Amino acid sequence: MAPPVIRGTAAWRHFGDFRAMLLAGQVLVQQVAHPVVAAGVRDHSGYTEDPWTRLMRTGASLSIYVYGGAEGARFEAERLRELHRTFTGFSDGRRYSALDPGAYAWVHATLVMAPVEAQRLFGRPLSTSELDEYYAQMCDVGRLLGVRARDLPASWTEFEQYYREMLSSFGPNETVSTLFDTIRTTRKPWSRLPDARWAKIRKRHAQAQLFLIRATLPDPLRTRLGLAWTAADERRFTRFRRVVRWLALLVPPPLRTAHMRWIGKLNVWLRAHPRAYRFLP
């Protein structure tokens, strides 16, 4: 029986750690590498036209179902399930649904894995006891969201094996290519930002984001997607990891998740007071 996600528990400490944001691109690639997820994103997601709004909505949703309390998590879970019921269509002559159990579980699995990978790469790897508690808590969150118990392994060790096997079945697809193109060509977040300045910012952001994707994707999938990785890249990433670890040491542990906890509470309040949305830009 997993403890609830409250202060001091493994999921509370690690899920919203700011270092996990460095894996955002990697998580998206792994999600849309799944053929059912790829079809749903291709047909129903507006991230290519407005990636900033999509990013903010995703962050808000994650913050609610982990840090929004039991009522907030249940409300958000019901909203997400209702939303995804409308995401259906045809791909390669077959009907798909965003609520396909395997695909739905895979999306949750990528979100479970990301904080663990963030700690391994940029912090202190979780201990066996921390992994057991964290995984049990995130399985409970998954069940709130509608992920069936039988669609995720019972233990962390089995989950790692499941994760490797899933990744070994993926390869290039149109949605992955579109994601890479979107990173390179995304529109500016504020209309008043000068075009020339945004062009420079976008180029540097794309270079950094694509580098992090190449650096953090598991090697077999990186190779199948045709993403090059050199010894020079590895040395550069090693230096980057050292800097991130050093910077994280300057942040007290409770503050490493403060942004996600604050967003979670704010969004629970906004859902209880929907008229307040009128005052947001």
Over the stretch 137-166, which tens digit does the pLDDT of each residue have?
A: 999 988 888 899 999 999 999 999 999 999
SS3 label, residue 94: strand
Burial 129-144 (b: 16+ CB within 10 A, else e): ebbbbbbbbbbbbbeb
| Distance of alpha carbon 10 from alpha carbon 99, whole angstroms | 28
- Any domain includes 54: yes
- Any domain includes 5: no
**Residue 5 clears pLDDT 80, i.e. is over it:** yes
- Any domain includes 4: no
Residues 6+ apart with CB under 8 A from 18: 248, 251, 256, 257, 259
Question: Which range of residues forms the domain containing residue 150?
Answer: 10-279
| Distance of alpha carbon 133 from alpha carbon 135, whole angstroms | 6
- Any domain includes 270: yes
Total domains in the fold of the chain: 1
Name the token pair of 152: 């995720």
Amino acid symbol at 139: C
Mean pLDDT calculated for residue range 213-221: 96
At residue 167 the predicted structure's pLDDT band, cuts being 50, 70 and 90, is very high
Residues 6+ apart with CB under 8 A from 199: none
Percent with pLDDT over 70 in the chain: 92
State pLDDT tens for residues 19-74.
999 999 999 999 999 999 999 888 887 766 666 666 667 777 778 878 887 777 77
Strand partners, 88: 97
- Any domain includes 1: no
Mean pLDDT calculated for residue range 125-142: 95
Name the token pair of 143: 């069940």
- Any domain includes 179: yes
Q: How many CB atoms lie within 10 A of CB 276?
A: 12
More confidently predicted of 15 and 60: 15
Q: For 94, phi and psi rounded to 5 degrees? A: -120, 145
- Any domain includes 2: no
Contact 123, 71 (CB under 8 A): no
Strand partners, 97: 88
- Any domain includes 246: yes
pTM for the complete prediction? Answer: 0.90
Position 92 scores a pLDDT of: 76
